[in-house]
Structure 1
Amino acid sequence: MDSRGGVPLSRLPAVNRDEAAGADPVTPDRPRSLDPRELGFTPARPVPWLAPLLLISTGVRTLLALLFGAYLDKRELQNALPSEVYREPGTDGELWLDYVADLGDGFNATYSVAYLLAQPELVVDSHRLPRGQMLMMGGDQVYPTASSAAYEQRFKGPYQAAMPCPPATGPQPTLYAIPGNHDWYDGLTAFLRLFARSRDDNIGGWRTPQSRSYFAVRLPSDWWLFALDEQSGTYLDDPQLRYFEQAAAELGPQSRVIVAVPAPTWVKAVDNPQAYESVDYFVRTVLDPSGARVRLIVSGDLHHYARYEGPDRQLIHCGGGGAYLYPTHHLPERIEVPPRDTLARRASQSREYDLAGRYPEASRSRRYAWGIFGRLPLRNPGFITLLGALHVLLMLPIAGVATQRASSTDQGLFSIPLVLMLAVVLLGAAFFAKPPTASGKRQIRHYLLGVIHGVAHIALGAAGAWLWLQLPFRDWPWPLPVAAAALLYAPVAGLVASQLTAAYLLVAGYFGVNLNELFAGQGIEDAKSFLRMRFAPDGSLTIYPVAIDRVGREWRVDPDNSRPDGPWLAPRQPLVARLAEPPVVLR
């Protein structure tokens, strides 16, 4: 809303920051209104993930990444960049580190998390948690695809508004990032331009010291952070391995290591056993020879919080930085890492890990799933339009074939497009059940559910044809029946077909199929999360999983804030944070 509470932020026109009067890159003037000419960016709406053009674009980019990613791998070129091992000693042996992943979607969710990350201190369930001296971003810093403009509007703008300049007291916080699959869709060009410039004023009040898409950081009390770039789960390149081997030469038996990876391959290995092999290879060949212990592996990619606990290691994925919510009620209660019958299993000892914590809770996740009936048409008008058009093209040839008054020649004119439409519907439904962006192999349940979904739409088309034949439109001269179908039948058919698709997604979700589409189609902004970690002088690490049940939806300019680093925008209703589970302590 604007300063008077009237105009949604996303309706304001986009204006380039360079055109904003009085804007200084280091200590920018505080905006007096919510006009983008003063903010420097346009707050974005959530991505409509089932929009037809977006689905096609994402599928094409995924295919190109699979086919040509190895030939356009910029990680090989990074060998010419500085290979520094970074140091974050903290203050008096204590360091606070924040971890966030999967941000840069809709403004409300992204800025709510950024606003809390930038606050000097949070009081969460009676715990006083100072702002992180280091901020680690775990991948997918922008959606739907990476570009300089997308980063500016969906990521950099909100984070600069949350902390526009360095704090007046204390050291400037640092920001490190690794790329996820969405950051890789432009070949990593925009990511390197933004995060690997070693600038003090690149992203609001955060300093960005890194020069590559991967890095190693020495933390207090001989804790280490090794952050990997797997290039969308393909492999670890030789320059990257050499860099980490040099960094690992400083490790010893007393060292404790946190490994940050773009995706929770320990969970994805349930459906795709080979997914974990790169991580296992890295730990086995780079870290284990030093005698150091890997106490924590952390990732984003799945848009929720979940923690698996093993005998000597925690596996945490926390992707609640702003992207649409992903369900938690289908998470396996126990996993084996590395999984059986893989190369990693033959080389490493396999251990069992139990699901020890998750957010949102399984019961709340199930309730969210039922919201697909209302949110699907509201969030995805383009998808509803596509369904309506398809059902018009399906209904008309069915009605034509069913009309016994047509001659044999006319019957053929109807039967050919009918066969084509039947093939399109069945193949499209089968393809939808296992899109190219989904991980794992296609199984029999994907084929069965996809065919059932397609048959259901064909049945709906037949019912629509029967209804159409009862109406007077079929007796009108050509092409009036087609025009009537486009104007009258398509909107109704699109809405009905959307509810049929919603029912399919809900049922398929119980079999672990189309879970991503079930929740992406809803675009749920609430239930966000990030990690705040404390490295204590005694060598212990305490992990606080911070949860935000409801993100902000209305904002006001905060011109009276006396702190230069204070946020430009404040929520009209206070943001309430709590712990997703009790703090996890590693000693």
Structure 2
Amino acid sequence: MSDSSRDTPDGAGWGPEDRGDYRQLMPRQVEKLSWLDPRLLWRARNGVLASWFGDPTGGTRNRWVEQRRTAGAPADAVIRRDDPDHFSFMVIGDTGEGDDPQYAVVPGFLKAGEGTKFAVLASDVVYPVGSTDEYGTKFFRPYRDYQAPIYAIPGNHDWYEDLQGFMRVFCEAPPLAPRPAPRRLTPAWLRSLLWHTARTPDEQRLAEARTLRAAPAQQSVQPGPYWALDAGPVRIIGIDTGLLGTLDAEQGRWLREVSTGPAPKILVTGSPLYVDGEHHPCAIEGGGTVDDIVRDPAHHYVAAIGGDIHNYQRYPVPVDGRTIQYVVAGGGGAFMHATHTIPRVGIARVTEEDFRCYPLRGDSLAFYSRLYGRRLRMRRFFTLTEAEATAVVAERLGITPTRAQGQPVRLTARIRLVAALLGAGRRTERRARFRLPVRKAYTQLFSPGSATYSPPFFKCFLRLDVTPDSIRLRCFSATGNRRAEVEPPVEDEVTIPLR
């Protein structure tokens, strides 16, 4: 097995570049998204409009679900598979930018995914707005050699065209009939004036794309944007958190129903419940939260896996004498969200010693120091080596470096200043007087506009091996280097008891 980032700098991808073969999988021409492009931001405006004038996704979602039920989908939205008691499946989140980082994940994903029964794609299948015409290069082509079904839950980007592409590809659903025009001078009417709607898809282009995953073993049809899947001894439940990260009342009622029963359960969601050292329980319209349902001992949840944030995090939360593994798994291909901004973890009785993340905070800080140095044309000032970044993060958090260091690093005033400016986490949430936008604003704007197209990429995906007694969850990394393609490194591993 290859060294991981927890073992050596080379395992993190900092060694001499030996780029993998992933580029052979890519189309000749690749569109490089820039979230600093006003035209792209305008296309992706629906999330902002929903927050200003009211979120219509609950009503639209219910129309999609009703359409699928009328077409014969099971009323309980449960997919019943004939898997043995011992089986494996993959989870990969936030994949579809269609560029180097997404395709760099594919060789390792195929290698680690050998023998698995299916995969679950958690959030944001296609960027920037979930267009049907982009599924060819951002879904069908990269996963054409994965010889098993892929189920998916949508993310907010898939909703930017009212879920038309997602429902067409994963549910074989025709477009919805147009809704009646809202009453004039209401918030809904104002929203409709600016709402981005889906373009008519190119049918020939979609048909050609489908041929890339046309093998019988690869086929599946979902009952809708949210579903439950019975596989072997476990039930996997995928929920759709729409544009703003909440559940409508009807989906909340369904979630409570499918969560009953003694089977161990895994939740897959587009909005992680624990992330960046914070708790986001996910509100349900009409009252209650998703995490209330997950924590209820009568429901037997053992894990909750969320996309949306583009890295890996794990919080083993003690709940009533048991442990629920809360996982962030959004590192499947899109730009990387920083981990070095996460403060020292101390939440829900999870300590820094219990917490795991990928990339390691030091590697994240080193990555973004290079990025800021390049963007601001101040490379000599901003750029930190991986050893310097690891040492200064350890100092600021008051922890032992995760990766053993070679020669001791002398921390200079420049190193400490760069770490502070880039928002490196502290022992507490005390705010610096001035820092560059690396947390809230950075997540929303600068980070998406700063994707890199050469290794290391710090991407990741999960493999879960299920038995009647336990689930073995492993996080594999994809750096874009050849060694990670041949033997994907394991960045984290935990065994979850089922009995």
Q: What TM-score does the superposition give when structure 2 sets the normalisation length?
A: 0.65
The residue number in structure 1 matching 2:229 is 217
The residue number in structure 1 matching 2:464 is 533
The residue number in structure 2 matching 1:277 is 283
Closer/same/farther in 2, CA of residues 215 and 42 from structure 1, 3 Å limit: farther
3-state SS of paired residue (1:146): coil
Q: Deviations over 1:51-90 (max 9, x none)?
A: 23323443x3322333353277321111342234122342
8 A contact 1:336–1:352 mirrored in 2: yes
3-state SS of paired residue (1:580): strand
Closer/same/farther in 2, CA of residues 286 and 582 from structure 1, 3 Å limit: closer
3-state SS of paired residue (1:137): strand
Amino acid at match of 2:258: A
The residue number in structure 2 matching 1:356 is 355
1:79 aligns with 2:66: yes
Closer/same/farther in 2, CA of residues 579 and 143 from structure 1, 3 Å limit: same
The residue number in structure 2 matching 1:520 is 448
1:323 aligns with 2:309: no
Q: Deviations over 1:157-197 (max 9, x none)?
A: 2222x34xx5xxxxxx2211000010010111111011112
8 A contact 2:341–2:439 mirrored in 1: no
Higher helix share: 1
- Which residue of 52, 55, 58 maps to 1:69? 55
Q: Deviations over 1:218-257 (max 9, x none)?
A: 2222x211111111235323432343344335x12xx321
Q: Deviations over 1:307-342 (max 9, x none)?
A: 1112211110011111011111122433545xxxxx
8 A contact 1:103–1:322 mirrored in 2: yes
1:233 aligns with 2:164: no
8 A contact 2:293–2:299 mirrored in 1: no
Amino acid at match of 2:37: A
Q: Deviations over 1:429-471 (max 9, x none)?
A: xxxxxxxxxxxxxxx989x86xxxxxxxxxxxxxxxxxxxxxx
- Which residue of 93, 99, 114 maps to 1:107? 99
Distance 2:296 2:375 in 1: 48
Distance 1:377 1:52 in 2: 20
Distance 1:315 1:303 in 2: 15
Unaligned stretches of 5+ in structure 2?
Answer: 1-20, 174-206, 378-429
8 A contact 1:360–1:527 mirrored in 2: yes
Distance 1:335 1:97 in 2: 31
Amino acid at match of 1:527: F
The residue number in structure 2 matching 1:577 is 488
The residue number in structure 2 matching 1:407 is none
Amino acid at match of 2:151: Y
Count of matched residue positions in the alignment of Structure 1 and Structure 2: 372
Distance 2:485 2:254 in 1: 44
3-state SS of paired residue (1:577): coil
Unaligned stretches of 5+ in structure 1?
Answer: 1-7, 11-32, 123-128, 167-172, 338-350, 379-443, 450-506, 553-570
Amino acid at match of 1:208: S
Q: Which moved more, 1:297-306 or 1:61-70?
A: 61-70
8 A contact 2:43–2:129 mirrored in 1: no
Instruction: Quote how far apart the aligned CAs of 1:513 are.
Output: 4.9
Identify which of structures 1 and 2 has the higher relative contact order when contacts are C-alpha pairs closer than 8 Å and 6+ apart: 2
Q: Deviations over 1:348-374 (max 9, x none)?
A: xxx656552111111110101112245
Amino acid at match of 1:357: R
Distance 1:365 1:196 in 2: 37
1:187 aligns with 2:162: yes
Return the index of the structure with the highest Cα Rg. 1
1:151 aligns with 2:135: yes
Distance 1:324 1:247 in 2: 34
Distance 1:263 1:372 in 2: 27
3-state SS of paired residue (2:50): helix
Closer/same/farther in 2, CA of residues 234 and 574 from structure 1, 3 Å limit: closer
Mapping for residues 56-455 of structure 1, pairs under 5 Å: 56-58=42-44, 60-66=45-51, 67=53, 69-70=55-56, 73-77=59-63, 78-80=65-67, 81=69, 82=73, 83=75, 84-91=77-84, 93-119=85-111, 122=112, 130-160=114-144, 162-163=145-146, 166=147, 173-197=148-172, 203-205=213-215, 206-221=218-233, 223-249=234-260, 251-252=261-262, 255-267=263-275, 270=278, 276-278=282-284, 281-284=289-292, 288=296, 291-311=298-318, 312-334=323-345, 336=347, 352=350, 356-373=355-372, 375-376=374-375
3-state SS of paired residue (2:96): coil
Amino acid at match of 1:297: A
Indicate the percent of aligned positions where both proteins have the same amino acid.
22
Distance 2:338 2:40 in 1: 22
The residue number in structure 2 matching 1:435 is none
8 A contact 1:138–1:261 mirrored in 2: yes
Distance 1:96 1:140 in 2: 23
Amino acid at match of 1:183: D
Instruction: Quote how far apart the aligned CAs of 1:375 are.
Output: 4.4
Q: Deviations over 1:194-233 (max 9, x none)?
A: 1112999784542223120000112222x21111111123
Distance 2:57 2:105 in 1: 36
Distance 1:94 1:361 in 2: 32
